[in-house]
Structures are given as C-alpha cells and as structure tokens.
Structure 1
Amino acid sequence: MKKRSKVFLTILAAAVTILLFFNIQTDAGMSFIQQMKDIFIPEKQITQSIEGTEEITEVVLQEGKDTEYVIYIDEERYKLVQGKNSDVITTREPLEERYPEVSMEIEHFKDIAPEEMIATLESELATEYTKVTETEAVKEPLAGFKLHGISGSEWNSPVTNVYVVDNKNGGSFVITEKYFLEAAEGHGARFYAMLQQFEIVE
C-alpha cells in the first residue's frame, strides 16, 4: 500500500507540475500578445525635424505585403500602395509633372542575402546616377546598409537612398527612396522619420 501511495503521489505531483507549466505558458503567451498590441498601436505621434523645425506629426500603422513588416506613415501627406512584388509609399496627391518622382518602395527578397543584394544594387545605381557614394553600414534610420546616388546639383536633380536590411532568415528587405535635391529636407526628412518606425514582423 505504501508503495502504491508513493507512485500515486509521484503521478499526482507530475500532473500538477504539467498543469502549472501550461498555465504559466498561457499567461506568458497572453502577456506577449498584449505587449505586441501595445507596441504596434494603430496611431501615434512622432517628432521629426523638417527644414530645421521640430514638427509633431500623427502617423498611422500600416502592414506590409503578407504582414512581413509594419511601418507608420503620415497619411495626411502619403499613402501606401500594395503591389504584386513590392509596396510603394508615395504622395497622397500626385505631384506636378515638373517634379521628379517622390516615392519609397519596399521590396522583400527572401532568398538573396544582403551582401549579394548590395553588389547588384551598386552596379545598377552606377548606371542610373552620375554620382554614387560608397556603401556604408548604418544604424539610423534603421540598422542595415545604405547606398546613395544623385545626378546633378540643380533643384530638381534626382536623388536616391537605398537601404538593405537583413531579414534574419537568409534574405533582404530593400527600401528605395526617390526624391529631388530641393526636397531633401522635406520629403527626404519625412521618409527618414517613417523608416525609423519600420519593423520586421517575424
């Protein structure tokens, strides 16, 4: 009888331990979900520097294609258009024809590592822009690599910033900004602030 009692108590203890474990796991899971909701709130305010002036801007959460990333955008000025192979953030109202393109394209290359991606982009930019600076590792506005190209020094000279971000799974996100020289402290600064809100969703 004593032997059976010990066996019974051992099984009971194991059962209680398992139940407690799953209860803790459930609580932890619920806590994690709540944290995610708190992090990715639908709307928030950010402070950004526009032409030397601090500006408080309302931004709205947007999910990228297949919910691979999230980003907050200034919906008063911009819109996110989801395409088959990429998403494009562009001006809410079309610009006049005299202005060069203003956009920020986000592409996900799941099977191309950042190093390989950079080599391809450097070759492409060299054929599209008259001046291309050396690729550099950056931490702002997001962690990754930055390529920069410009053609000319006039107000309407086209400018590009290309960011390559490791997706931590053997692939890359490529974010391509396009604007013109005079808009560097306007659209350029606003794109920079939006990229500070870019988050990969694993």
Structure 2
Amino acid sequence: MKTNNNKKTSKKMRIGRLTVLVIAIMTAASLMMTGCLRSPVETGAVTNTEDTDVTPGETTTETTETTTEPETSETEPEQTDETDATDSEITTEPTETTAPTKEPRPEQSSITIELEGMPEQIVTNLYMSKLGYSMYYDKDRYKVVETSSRFDSAISVDEYMPVTPADALPDIYMQVGYFADMSAEKAFSELTAEAEQKLSAKASEPMAVIIGVDNLPGQKVTVVSGHNWDSEVIAITVIDDGRGGSFFFYGGYFLEAEEGHGSRYTQMLESFRIE
C-alpha cells in the first residue's frame, strides 16, 4: 500500500514540476514576444518624436528666413523707384531749359522794297544784337549804335540812324529795345503814354501788326505832333517775346519822311528774328 502511494506522490511531483517548467517557458516566451513587439513601436515612437522635434524647428527657421528675405526685396524696389524718379527728373529738366536751335543767317541779303509805289532792290547786312535778336538793315543808308533809349536813359537800346543826319530837321531814328520782365501789353501802354506826353498829342488807334520772319503778332500806334511837313512823328510797335518779356520798336521821324524813312524802317522789321 505504501509503495503504491509513494509512486503516486512521485508522479504528481513530476507533473507539477513539468507544469511549472512549461509555465516558466511560456512566460519567458511571452515576455520575449512582448519585447519584440514593443521594441519596433518604441523605436518608431522615438523616430516620430525626433522627426516632430527637429522638423518643426527647421521649418520654423526656414520660414523666418523666408519671411525676412521678402522684406529686403520690398525695400529694394523702393530704391529702384527713387532711382527711376531721379532719372525721369534728369531727363525732363534739359527738355524744359533747352532753347530751340536757330538756323544760321547769311551776313548779307539782297531784298526788294517798295517806296512810293516803286520797287527798289537793296543789299542789307545782318546785325546780331546783344539784346537777343537779329535783323537786316541797309548799311549804305543807316548805322547801328548801342545807346540809351530816348525816353529812359537807364534802358539800353540799339539805334538805327542815317549815316549822314540831316541838319535842322527832327531826328530820324529807330530804337530796338527789350524788356525782360515786362509784358507786351504793359510795355505798349507805357510807351504810348510816354510818346503822347512828349509830343503833347493823342495817339492813333492801336492796330494789329505782324513782325519778323516768324510772323510775331504785335500792336502799333503813331503819335503826330501836328500837320506840318516837319511835324514830329513817333511810331511804336511792341511784340511779346514768348517768355514773359517784350521787344519794342520806337521810331522817330518827321511827317514828310514818312514815305521814305518810315517805310524803310517798317520793311526792316520784316527781317527781325528773336534769337
């Protein structure tokens, strides 16, 4: 009986040990499998964490750099615009201050004038004035002198007068002058008033005239001191210079010389040109 009991006990112990061994093996295997399964996940998690930490940082830095670059780019066009504006001003200024080019004129010219209904051909010489004009004149009959005006000694003029003045007769002359800062309207009004006062006579009605090779519009008036052959005459013509100033032509002769010297002076003005 004891022998059988011992055998049974021994068998149970072996079975228990085997069971414990199997459980230990299974536990170890389970742990190994769990470790293997968890290891990739942890590795992946670490990888993802590194990617998440590094990538945003790098992206933020790049974005900051990218944001900074356009600011520089926005500043550069402003400098370019200022340069363009400067270039435009440089281009525009010479256009506003450059005077038009004038064709050179020959020193002599042959013209035909009409005196008392008869044509007369004369040779004229060119006079280039310091006052900013040029005009042809009959050098055989007239001379040009730089002098003061007959109504204001402070005003410089060019005076065209006979080479040989006549004795005991009113002066014969034509003065050409320039007012840099006086309009044609004002100059015409003041010169007319001065002539009326000088001759104590009323001026004629103003008449429109065309002066020079450029057909410049102007006004003309005459003041006559009387009705005698030697009554003094003053003829005034004023034109606009196109720049806010004016040229004036202040001629003097006597009544009988109106068809002679008066006509010659008038025809001389046909060759007048502003330079």
TM-score by length of 1: 0.76
1:136 aligned residue:
207
User: Separation in 2 of the partners of 1:156 and 1:134?
Assistant: 22
Q: Which runs of 5+ in 1 are unaligned?
A: 1-31
After TM superposition, give the deviation of residue 61 of structure 1 in Å. 0.3
* C-alpha distance after superposition, 1:109-148 (max 9, x if no partner): 0000011112212321221232311222212576311121
* C-alpha distance after superposition, 1:58-77 (max 9, x if no partner): 000001125x0000000000
Alignment of 1:1-202 (within 5 A): 36-37=103-104, 40-66=105-131, 68-83=132-147, 85-96=156-167, 98-129=168-199, 130-139=201-210, 143-201=217-275
Structure 1 residue runs of 4+, over 6 Å off? none
User: Separation in 2 of the partners of 1:105 and 1:167?
Assistant: 17
More strand by share: 1
Q: Which has the higher contact order (CA 8 A, sep 6+)?
A: 1
Contact 1:60 1:75 in 2 (8 A): yes
Contact 2:165 2:172 in 1 (8 A): no
Specify the code of the residue in structure 2 equivalent to 1:139.
Answer: I
- Kindly, what percent of the aligned residue pairs are identical? 33
* C-alpha distance after superposition, 1:75-124 (max 9, x if no partner): 0000011236111000011221x210100001100000011112212321
Specify the code of the residue in structure 2 equivalent to 1:104.
Answer: M
Contact 1:101 1:178 in 2 (8 A): yes
Specify the code of the residue in structure 2 equivalent to 1:36.
Answer: E
Secondary structure of 1:95's counterpart equals coil
User: Separation in 2 of the partners of 1:105 and 1:114?
Assistant: 16
Specify the code of the residue in structure 1 equivalent to 2:146.
Answer: Q
Secondary structure of 1:170's counterpart equals coil
* C-alpha distance after superposition, 1:28-70 (max 9, x if no partner): xxxx97x712xx111011111112211001000001125x000
More helix by share: 2
Specify the code of the residue in structure 2 equivalent to 1:127.
Answer: Q
* C-alpha distance after superposition, 1:141-194 (max 9, x if no partner): 763111211011111011111110111110011111111111111101110111
Asked which structure has the greater CA Rg, the reply is 2
Number of aligned residue pairs: give it: 165
Specify the code of the residue in structure 2 equivalent to 1:64.
Answer: S
Contact 1:117 1:172 in 2 (8 A): yes
Specify the code of the residue in structure 1 equivalent to 2:208.
Answer: A
Q: Which runs of 5+ in 2 are unaligned?
A: 1-99, 149-155
